[in-house]
Structure 1
Amino acid sequence: MTKADVVNEISKNTGIEKVTVQKTVEAFMETVKANLVKGNNVYLRGFGSFVIKRRAEKTARNISRNTTIIIPAHNIPSFKPSKSFVSKVKDTKK
């Protein structure tokens, strides 16, 4: 499902114009990104959490040049679904 599909589905279910829904979805995503950049986690009860995870520094290999490189410590965004979300997906039969 793409962002356009999400916008179409919300618009169809709520009767709100697609342009308004698209602006709302974009604003939501920008808010989540902006808060993660600031170092704040975003918690959506019943859905999940957008959190920042810290990756430690590590040594890696560049196979083509046969050299060792150091990958510095860095932060990455991550999504952790809520327990109710996980249980609904687990219980779904294909």
Structure 2
Amino acid sequence: MNKAELINSISEKTGHTQLDTLKTLDALLETIEATVAGGDKVQLVGFGIFEPQHRAARAGRNPQTGEPIEIAEATLPKFTPGKLFKDKVVEAHKPKPKPASTGKAKAKTKTEATTTDKAKAKPKKV
């Protein structure tokens, strides 16, 4: 889903115009970005936490040459999903149980029947 599809979905669910929904979504994202960039976290209970994460400088290696390099320290945004959000995703991707068998034998398709019958047939002697 891209931003336009998200705006369309939200506006249909809320009854607001797409323009009002766009303004609201932009304000939400700008607020989250500004807060995290300022060093604070944004916690939406049940959904997740947006927060800055500091990474210290460390030694690395150039994969092409094998030469050691220094990777500079950085502060990057991090998102940690909340329990309700994780549970919904897990539930949506659980394998569906197979329907119980009725006890009847499954009829072979024409391809299955000829392939199986040929495999069972005795080879001809020459």
Asked if these proteins are the same fold (TM beyond 0.5), I'd say: yes
Report the CA distance between 1:68 and its aligned residue. 2.1
Aligned to 1:75: 75
Report the CA distance between 1:87 and its aligned residue. 1.1
Taking only aligned residues, the RMSD between alpha carbons, in angstroms, comes to: 1.4
Moved more, 34-43 or 52-61: 52-61
Give unpaired runs (5+ residues) of structure 2.
Answer: 96-126
> Quick one: percent identity of the two aligned structures?
37
SS of 2:53's equivalent? strand
Aligned to 1:87: 87
Aligned to 1:33: 33
Determine if the alignment matches structure 1 residue 3 to structure 2 residue 3: yes
Aligned to 1:62: 62
User: Aligned partners of 2:90, 2:63: CA distance in 1, in Å?
Assistant: 39
Between Structure 1 and Structure 2, how many residues are aligned? 94
Structure number with bigger Rg: 2
Of Structure 1 and Structure 2, which has the larger fraction of its residues in strand? 1
Give unpaired runs (5+ residues) of structure 1.
Answer: none
Report the CA distance between 1:81 and its aligned residue. 0.8
* Structure ranking higher on relative contact order (CA contacts 8 Å, 6+ apart): 1
Report the CA distance between 1:63 and its aligned residue. 3.7
